[in-house]
Amino acid sequence: MPLAPLDWSLWLSPWVLGIFGLCIGSFLNVVIHRIPRMLERQWLHESAAQLTDAEAMARVIGVAPSETEKLAKAVDAYGTRIEALPRFNIVTPRSRCPHCGHQLRWHENLPLVGWLLLGGKCSACKAPISTRYPIIEVLTGLAFAGLSWRLGAQPTTLLWCGFVAALIALAMIDVDTQFLPDDITLPLLWAGLLAAAMGWTIPLEKAVIGAAGGYVSLWTVYWVYRLIRNREGMGYGDFKLLAALGAWLGSSMLLPVILLSSVVGAVVGTFLILFRGHKWEIHIPFGPYLVGGGLVALYVGPASLLELLGLLSLG
Ligand SMILES: [Zn+2]
């Protein structure tokens, strides 16, 4: 269904979407860096607000309010200080060098080109800029171009670009913080269900069963593991992420995604333990592997993926 009399084949061609992906990758770098810090500030602010309720605290613990008022007052002072902090969100303040505070000029901020022009160094203090930034930009560019190439230059390809962008952000935030924010997993889940309901992606029943099945399957693994080993193997964020993957890719892709991410997770985990001196008990975030499994499912396609997994299990 054409949305507007536009030449989609040009605007959504692999080249154009690839360049668009570079820009989105640049935006993702900001999201990956700032969302965890924004949430940390928000949580501390909320906790402070709750702790200032001296009466509730006294009631719960069963002591006189005079005992809890001292804490409430002290926490209130910190809460006020958090409120007074300068604004910090996705757009404010502008990007700066973490070493010297130099504010990036527009051409230094250009995706990939900015990093190349600077030779990977801050123009003011010459501190190296992590290669991670251009890598994420290139990765997102290639991912978008790949979608246009695989799904064709049509409007729904943009939806899948959004899906992939959210997955890249989630994987990197999980690597950095071992945490998958609800602020990304839940909208991604709802968007997947909505896109299916609109008839833009997969049949709705597959999306709904995929979402519910994704959540419940990992939830079950979590509780079985917890009852047997008495510790947590993964977090609730992983369930929500697999639910989102189920909503976008459908119920039939759940098992392949879980298998794929478990195999890759086990291989990488073993590598880290054997060659990088990690301990067995270390928490390795599962999110990046789920994302990897989901991306393979998306780009390789269901039929080829099932074939591939069949071959792996035979070999
Ligand atoms: Zn600098």
Distance 104 CA to ligand 1 centre (A): 9
Distance 130 CA to ligand 1 centre (A): 12
Distance 124 CA to ligand 1 centre (A): 5
| pLDDT value of position 33 | 95
Query: Does residue 91 share a domain with residue 165?
Result: no
| pLDDT value of position 315 | 39
102: left (phi over 0), alpha (psi -120 to 50) or beta: beta
Structural domain contains residue 6: no
Q: Which residue stretches of the chain are H helix?
A: 8-11, 14-51, 54-61, 65-84, 113-118, 132-151, 155-177, 182-197, 204-229, 236-249, 254-275, 287-300, 302-314
Distance 129 CA to ligand 1 centre (A): 9
| pLDDT value of position 206 | 96
Distance 158 CA to ligand 1 centre (A): 36
Structural domain contains residue 29: yes
| pLDDT value of position 121 | 94
| pLDDT value of position 233 | 65
Are 184 and 165 spatial neighbours (Cβ–Cβ below 8 Å)?
no
Query: Does residue 305 share a domain with residue 185?
Result: yes
Point out the residues of the chain with pLDDT beneath 70. Answer: 1-6, 231-233, 279-284, 309-315
Distance 96 CA to ligand 1 centre (A): 8
Structural domain contains residue 138: yes
Distance 103 CA to ligand 1 centre (A): 9
Query: Does residue 209 share a domain with residue 136?
Result: no
Query: Does residue 80 share a domain with residue 61?
Result: yes
Are 272 and 155 spatial neighbours (Cβ–Cβ below 8 Å)?
no
Query: Does residue 159 share a domain with residue 126?
Result: no
| pLDDT value of position 224 | 86
Distance 111 CA to ligand 1 centre (A): 18
Prediction pTM value: 0.90
- SS3 call for 128: strand
- Domains in the chain, number: 2
Distance 72 CA to ligand 1 centre (A): 40
Distance 134 CA to ligand 1 centre (A): 17
Query: Does residue 93 share a domain with residue 239?
Result: no
Among 145, 175, 199, the domain-final residue is: 145
By residue range, what is the domain housing residue 201? 154-314
